[in-house]
């Protein structure tokens, strides 16, 4: 109609009535239109209730023009949403540059992506080359080549010696003959086998919690369980020293994350107070608040002061997510983890994560807590919903392992004895204070974190520091006086590993890290796992062997510059030999 406006206005100046101005050819069209309009009107009036609708629309629009405008806008918006493509993301935003097809073609031709992966750095090659391969059964005594000599394996978590246990094998074979290997389905669709339910009950009974839920892998458990609860807008207070899987879980939870200094309860309280102050200042609605920590920290073996954390959590109304993947099956009289060690009920921990793979030497992980916590994950935790359930034999062996832990307290006591023997051997290289460690339940080792300034050294021969808790089977050894770069330190530690393997036949490993992907780069360290399946004598010998290796490679006579030069010469010689070899090949000499 707008296009007719000027015509009508000009015609208004003339005295002739407006309809005379209508051109002849348009008249039939207009007649047709008006008849259509009338018919429609008639039809509309025949619909029962239509007058009410008309009256309603008329009155409401007359009385409230704002509302009419809003409704028109709404309709327009709805239309726009419907018409917009589903896959357009930021599409025609204000940053969108309109380009012609030809320009786009040129840009496509010019597009040169980076290679899918970068060329491996020397450090990467070194990492890959130093991965040991076990031939045959893994366990306390292993071979790293088909015909090699047996080595004492102190590199795998085998706290109670379940890895080689004949009982486990028997249980596994029985299960295999009844259930096969895989479950061929997620737990929601016929993947919930009775042995899974039984294991969940066993775990819940063992820890004395309301319920438990199992996952098919520990890493997926930790990284998926946290975002199942912590959402955007929630607050997470986390220890700085938590493991990589927790980091990943925190990252995708999109919650607000506050860090407190590793193992420092005072700092934790300070952070909690800050959050509380912030909340009071800003107001806003109550959000979920979590404290995330580990029982035995995977990165250095330190232990959490659980009673203190529980006290703080209650005081400031937080929920505790405790990752006991390392401590479950290792700490406490029956291996129930920190709660047993400190004598607090495990049900006080709101969300308790543990690992069957490390603690019980089978596979998968579990989360224990209240019924609400567990049933929530069955539908809302992505790794639980969207993955096949745990193979039946790993579930039954885990149940059998729990049974063994309950009925054989000797498993844990021999582990503790072995840890004690081993630590004694190494304490001669440590700064003095660790020789009288507080073994009572009053808390963690006095601040000895690698992340904190080292305390004054009293032992002149000290070359290493071990922040790991004296009862922890997982022992991390850090150098007191490390070389300047991470890579050199890793190489130096690898020398210790090689030396220990060659002279004392013990297999240990450097703590492997994802350099470049971690939020806080952990310091390089040696990782040692003690097993209760070793005899005391073996452990004593291993401790001695490691001590000698440490002294030999980085002891008091160790001179970094000299070591560096030797390394340089070695690589120079290797390079030259290769060159020579190529030369000979090419020339055919």
Partner 1 sequence: MGRTTRRSAGAQSTPSGASTPPSSLSSSPPSRPLFPTISLRSSSPSSSPQPTGTEPLVSARSSLINVLSRPRHQFPITAASHSQATAASYDDASFNSNNDGDSLYSDQSTISSYASSIMSGTSSGTEMSKEDIALMYKDYLEKPFVQTKSTIRHSEFGHCNNPNWRWTSQWNSNEPIHLEEEPRPSYVVLMSTYFSYLLLIVMGHIRDFFGKRFRPAAYSHLMPQNGYAALNSDFDSFYTRRLKQRLDDCFARPVTGVAGRTIMLYDRTSNDQNKTFTRTGSTTRALNVSSYNYLGFASSSGGCADAAEMSIRKYGVSSAGNRHDASTLDLHQQTERLVAKFVGAEASMVVSMGYATNSTTIPALVDRGCLVISDEFNHASIRAGVRFSGASMRWYKHNDMKVLEELLREAISQGQPRTHRPWKKILIIVEGLYSMEGTLVNLPALIELKKRYKFYLYVDEAHSIGAMGPNGRGVCDYFGIDPREIDILMGTFTKSFGAAGGYIAGSKEVIDRLRIRSHASCYAEVISPPVLTQIIASMGSIMGVAPPLATPAEDKSNALSISSRHPVYGPVAASVLPPWLALPTNLLNGTEGRERLRRIAFNARYLSSGLRKLGFIVYGNRDSPIIPLLIYQPGKMAWFSRMMMERFSADKTPIVVVVVAYPATPLITSRVRFCLSASHTKNDIDMVLRACDEIGDVLDLKYKKQTMTVEEVIANAEELVAASHIE
Scanning residues 348 to 387, which ones bind partner 1 (CB under 8 A)? 355, 357-358, 361-363, 372-373, 376, 378-380, 382-383, 385-387
CA distances, 223 to each of 247, 384, 586 (Å): 8, 11, 53
Task: Report in angstroms how near the CB of residue 432 gets to partner 1 at its nearest.
Answer: 31
Of residues 13 and 81, the one with the C-beta less far from partner 1: 81
| Residue of the chain from 127, 256, 425, 544 that contacts partner 1 (CB under 8 A) | 127
- Interacting stretch for partner 1, rule CB under 8 A, among 27-35, 192-200, 336-344, 424-432? 192-200
Report if residue 187 touches partner 1, rule: CB under 8 A: yes
| Residue of the chain from 7, 10, 31, 120 that contacts partner 1 (CB under 8 A) | 120
Q: What is the rounded distance in angstroms from the CA atom of residue 177 to the CA atom of residue 14? A: 103
Task: Report in angstroms how near the CB of residue 36 gets to partner 1 at its nearest.
Answer: 26
Q: What is the rounded distance in angstroms from the CA atom of residue 583 to the CA atom of residue 589? A: 8
CA distances, 191 to each of 187, 202, 390, 414, 506 (Å): 4, 19, 9, 38, 41
Q: How far out from the chain centre does Cα 482 lie?
A: 29
Total number of residues that touch partner 1 (CB under 8 A): 126
Largest separation between any pair of C-alpha atoms in the chain? 123
Output Rg (C-alpha) for the chain, integer angstroms.
35
Task: Report in angstroms how near the CB of residue 106 gets to partner 1 at its nearest.
Answer: 9
| Residue of the chain from 137, 208, 410, 556 that contacts partner 1 (CB under 8 A) | 137
Pairing of strands 211-215, 365-369: antiparallel
Of residues 262 and 319, the one with the C-beta less far from partner 1: 319
Reported as half-sphere exposure (CB side, CA atoms, 13 A), residue 515 has a value of 13
Instruction: Single out the residue of 538, 546, 535 nearest to residue 508, CA to CA.
Output: 546
Report if residue 111 touches partner 1, rule: CB under 8 A: yes
Pairing of strands 464-465, 474-479: antiparallel
Who's near 247: CB < 8 A, 6+ residues apart? 518, 519
Q: What is the rounded distance in angstroms from the CA atom of residue 399 to the CA atom of residue 356? A: 10
Looking at residues 475 to 514 of the shown chain, list those that interact with partner 1 (rule: CB under 8 A).
507, 509, 512-514
Report if residue 153 touches partner 1, rule: CB under 8 A: yes
| Residue of the chain from 71, 124, 461, 521 that contacts partner 1 (CB under 8 A) | 124
- Interacting stretch for partner 1, rule CB under 8 A, among 10-18, 91-99, 472-480, 486-494? 91-99
**CB-CB neighbours of 382 under 10 Å:** 15
CA distances, 264 to each of 80, 292, 311, 518 (Å): 55, 13, 14, 21
CA distances, 558 to each of 218, 459, 479 (Å): 40, 17, 12
Looking at residues 309 to 328 of the shown chain, list those that interact with partner 1 (rule: CB under 8 A).
317, 319
Of residues 34 and 197, the one with the C-beta less far from partner 1: 197
| Residue of the chain from 194, 311, 442, 481 that contacts partner 1 (CB under 8 A) | 194
3-class state of residue 280 by DSSP: helix
Report if residue 85 touches partner 1, rule: CB under 8 A: yes
Are 347 and 199 contacting, i.e. CB atoms less than 8 angstroms apart? no
Report if residue 149 touches partner 1, rule: CB under 8 A: no
Of residues 153 and 339, the one with the C-beta less far from partner 1: 153
3-class state of residue 102 by DSSP: helix
Of residues 216 and 450, the one with the C-beta less far from partner 1: 216
Q: How far out from the chain centre does Cα 589 lie?
A: 56
Of residues 115 and 453, the one with the C-beta less far from partner 1: 115
Pairing of strands 526-529, 509-510: antiparallel
| Residue of the chain from 163, 330, 412, 450 that contacts partner 1 (CB under 8 A) | 163
Report if residue 84 touches partner 1, rule: CB under 8 A: no
Looking at residues 6 to 65 of the shown chain, list those that interact with partner 1 (rule: CB under 8 A).
none
Of residues 136 and 455, the one with the C-beta less far from partner 1: 136
Of residues 83 and 131, the one with the C-beta less far from partner 1: 131
Of residues 90 and 586, the one with the C-beta less far from partner 1: 90
Report if residue 339 touches partner 1, rule: CB under 8 A: no
3-class state of residue 476 by DSSP: strand
Looking at residues 534 to 563 of the shown chain, list those that interact with partner 1 (rule: CB under 8 A).
none
Looking at residues 250 to 279 of the shown chain, list those that interact with partner 1 (rule: CB under 8 A).
251-252
DSSP string covering 289-342, please? EEEEEESB-TTT--B--HHHHHHHHHHHT-EEEEE-TTTTTTSSSSS--HHHHH
- Interacting stretch for partner 1, rule CB under 8 A, among 94-102, 405-413, 434-442, 550-558? 94-102
Report if residue 567 touches partner 1, rule: CB under 8 A: no
Task: Report in angstroms how near the CB of residue 427 gets to partner 1 at its nearest.
Answer: 25
Of residues 156 and 419, the one with the C-beta less far from partner 1: 156
């Amino acid at each position: 109609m707008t296009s007719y406006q000027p015509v009508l206005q000009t015609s208004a100046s003339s005295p002739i009535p407006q309809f005379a101005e209508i051109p002849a050819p348009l008249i039939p069209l207009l007649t047709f239109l008006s008849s259509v309009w009338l018919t429609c009107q008639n039809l509309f009036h025949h619909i029962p209730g239509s007058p009410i609708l008309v009256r309603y629309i008329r009155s409401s629009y007359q009385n409230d023009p704002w509302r009419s405008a809003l409704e028109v806008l709404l309709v327009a918006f709805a239309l726009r949403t419907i018409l917009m493509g589903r896959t357009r993301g930021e599409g025609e935003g204000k940053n969108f540059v309109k380009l012609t097809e030809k320009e786009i073609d040129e840009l496509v031709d010019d597009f040169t992506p980076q290679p899918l992966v970068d060329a491996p750095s020397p450090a990467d090659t070194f990492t890959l080359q130093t991965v040991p391969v076990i031939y045959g059964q893994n366990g306390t005594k292993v071979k790293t080549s088909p015909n090699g000599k047996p080595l004492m394996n102190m590199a795998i978590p085998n706290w109670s010696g379940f890895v080689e246990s004949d009982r486990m094998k028997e249980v596994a074979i029985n299960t295999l003959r009844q259930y096969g290997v895989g479950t061929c389905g997620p737990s929601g669709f016929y993947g919930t086998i009775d042995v899974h339910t039984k294991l969940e009950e066993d775990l819940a009974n063992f820890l004395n919690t309301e319920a438990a839920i199992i996952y098919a892998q520990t890493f997926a458990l930790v990284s998926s369980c946290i975002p199942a609860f912590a959402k955007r807008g929630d607050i997470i207070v986390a220890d700085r020293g938590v493991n990589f899987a927790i980091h990943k879980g925190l990252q995708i939870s999109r919650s607000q994350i506050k860090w407190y200094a590793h193992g420092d309860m005072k700092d934790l309280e300070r952070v909690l107070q800050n959050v509380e102050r912030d909340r009071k200042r800003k107001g806003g609605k109550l959000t979920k608040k979590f404290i995330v920590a580990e029982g035995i920290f995977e990165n250095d073996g330190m232990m959490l002061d659980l009673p203190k954390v529980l006290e703080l959590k209650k005081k400031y109304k937080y929920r505790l997510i405790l990752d006991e993947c390392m401590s479950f099956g290792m700490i406490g009289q029956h291996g129930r983890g920190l709660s047993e060690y400190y004598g607090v009920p495990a049900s006080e921990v709101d969300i308790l994560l543990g690992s069957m793979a490390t603690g019980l030497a089978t596979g998968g992980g579990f989360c224990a807590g209240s019924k609400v916590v567990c049933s929530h994950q069955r539908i809302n935790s992505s790794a639980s919903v969207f993955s096949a359930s745990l193979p039946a034999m790993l579930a039954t062996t885990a149940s059998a392992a729990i049974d063994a832990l309950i009925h054989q307290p000797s498993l844990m006591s021999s582990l503790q004895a072995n840890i004690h023997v081993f630590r004694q051997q190494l304490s001669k290289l440590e700064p003095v204070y660790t020789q009288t460690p507080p073994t009572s339940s009053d808390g963690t080792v006095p601040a000895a974190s690698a992340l904190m300034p080292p305390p004054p050294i009293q032992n002149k021969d000290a070359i290493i520091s071990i922040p790991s808790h004296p009862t922890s089977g997982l022992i991390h050894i850090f150098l007191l006086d490390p070389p300047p770069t991470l890579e050199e330190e890793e190489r130096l530690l690898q020398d210790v590993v090689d030396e220990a393997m060659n002279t004392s036949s013990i297999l240990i490993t450097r703590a492997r890290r994802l350099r470049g992907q971690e939020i806080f780069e952990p310091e390089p360290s040696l990782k040692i796992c003690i097993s209760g399946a070793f005899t005391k004598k073996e452990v004593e010998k291993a401790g001695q062997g490691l001590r000698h290796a440490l002294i030999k490679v980085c002891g008091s006579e160790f001179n970094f510059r000299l070591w560096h030069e030797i390394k340089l010469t070695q690589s120079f010689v290797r390079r030259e030999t290769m060159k020579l070899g190529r030369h000979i090949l090419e020339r055919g000499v």
